[in-house]
Amino acid sequence: MKVALLGLFVQEIAAVIKPFGLPAYRASQLVNWIYKQHVTDFSAMINLPKSMRTLLAEHFTVREYELQTVWQSGDGKTSKYLLRFPDQSAVETVLMRQSYGNSVCVSTQVGCAMGCIFCASTLQGMTRNLTCGEIMAQVLHIESLLAQEGQKVDSIVIMGMGEPLANYENVVKFIRLCHEEYGLHLSYRSITLSTSGLVPEIERLAQEGLPITLSISLHAANDTSRSTLMPVNKRYPIAGLLAAGDRYAAQTGRRVTYEYTLIAERNDRVSDAKELAKLLRGRLANVNLIPVNPVPERGLLRPGAEAIKRFEQTLLAHNINVTVRREMGADIQAACGQLRKKHLENH
């Protein structure tokens, strides 16, 4: 079985090519071709001897996937890609062209096991974790497309399909690789990770020395309500989750974002906003309000514009930093899991 080089640090590439008599400096050439030049065919790596290119092709691959589907939003600002790996697993990646740059949303698992009732990713359950290389392939696919326009990936959000912290080792390696100068050379502050609230892993992440933005899915201000929306709350209730968020903020100096999906007649009342404000008062935190993307199987409805505004104003009146997520790609079902679900239904 061939070894995939994508997803490996330069030192790891040097180690895997060494048994074939290749010196360590060749690893530096390889990472430049793979991460900077987006080359996937060894035969195109022209500063390597032809015999070496043949040897590499016999024993290694760069990255393996097929582009299954592309959906483009009507305004041209959002593109959604369905990538399929050799085992037929398919994952979604989204490019969002924002005013502040190009942002890529990556998936970390094939499906999701968390069972949040407002999300399409979890409808078919979880198949497997993605490797570091498979996560990186999503970014490099888009980076190579942007390069043709003289642009690049400016930020990454790890909040596509799957629970990132349930695939801890691969995700942390991916983050470090994105930061490497020979990788994407992204600032850690340009990377956001969203979790449903795995407390032990949040604690562990705080010790990694990675000052990334942590985004915690809260979606309710009390355990009774949150447990009906997110089964993970039964294992890690709100008090312990907020304590972990506080420790992350103290350790990294980064403000924690609490995501709150607004669902009509479930958690969008003024009383819910006041309860949320009381919960977050005095914390190094802000709230990101997300009007729910309707998933037909779930029967959950998006609140009206007045209800969304009222919720936001209530938080602001209680001195809570709040933003309302600007909707992108609704016309192409850019919410997590929707494109993969449609693909599975058609095959």
Sign of CA dihedral 162, 165, 166, 170: positive
pLDDT score for 331: 52
119 is in an annotated binding site: yes
pLDDT score for 121: 67
155 is in an annotated binding site: no
**pLDDT tens digits, one per residue of 166-209:** 999 999 999 999 999 999 999 999 999 999 999 999 999 999 99
Cα of 227 vs its chain's centroid, Å: 23
Residue range 66-345, CATH number: 3.20.20.70
218 is in an annotated binding site: yes
**pLDDT tens digits, one per residue of 14-63:** 999 999 999 999 999 999 999 999 999 999 999 999 999 999 999 999 98
pLDDT score for 337: 46
pLDDT score for 122: 62
When pLDDT is cut at 50, 70 and 90, the band that residue 342 belongs to is: very low
Q: Is residue 92 annotated as part of the catalytic site, yes or no?
A: yes
Q: What phi and psi values does residue 164 have, to the nearest 5 degrees?
A: -55, -40
Q: What's the CATH fold of domain 3-61?
A: DNA polymerase; domain 1 (1.10.150)
How does the average pLDDT of the chain come out, rounded? 91
Q: What phi and psi values does residue 339 have, to the nearest 5 degrees?
A: -70, -40
Domain extents for the chain? 3-61, 66-345
pLDDT score for 288: 96
How many helices and strands in the chain, by DSSP H and E?
Answer: 11, 14
Q: Is residue 306 annotated as part of the catalytic site, yes or no?
A: no
List Cα–Cα distances, 298 to 29, 115, 122, 255, 302, in angstroms. 50, 12, 11, 32, 12
Question: 3-state class of 144 per DSSP?
Answer: helix
pLDDT score for 17: 98
Q: Which of 92, 134, 143, 259 is catalytic?
A: 92
Rg, C-alpha atoms of the chain: 21
CA dist., res. 206 & res. 187, Å (int): 17
pLDDT score for 341: 46
CA dist., res. 317 & res. 294, Å (int): 29
141 is in an annotated binding site: no
Q: Which of 109-113, 120-124, 230-234 has the lowest mean pLDDT?
A: 120-124
CA dist., res. 304 & res. 260, Å (int): 16
Q: Which of 64, 327, 336, 345 is catalytic?
A: 336
User: DSSP secondary-structure letter at 336?
Assistant: T
Q: What phi and psi values does residue 152 have, to the nearest 5 degrees?
A: -150, 170
76 is in an annotated binding site: no
Among 48, 40, 49, 37, CA closest to 6:
40
Res 325 pLDDT > 70 = yes
185 is in an annotated binding site: no
75 or 262: whose pLDDT is higher?
A: 262
116 is in an annotated binding site: yes
**pLDDT tens digits, one per residue of 310-322:** 999 999 999 999 9
Report the pLDDT averaged over residues 89-109: 95
178 is in an annotated binding site: no
**pLDDT tens digits, one per residue of 138-161:** 999 999 999 999 999 999 999 999
Q: Which residues pair with residue 158 across a beta bridge?
A: 193
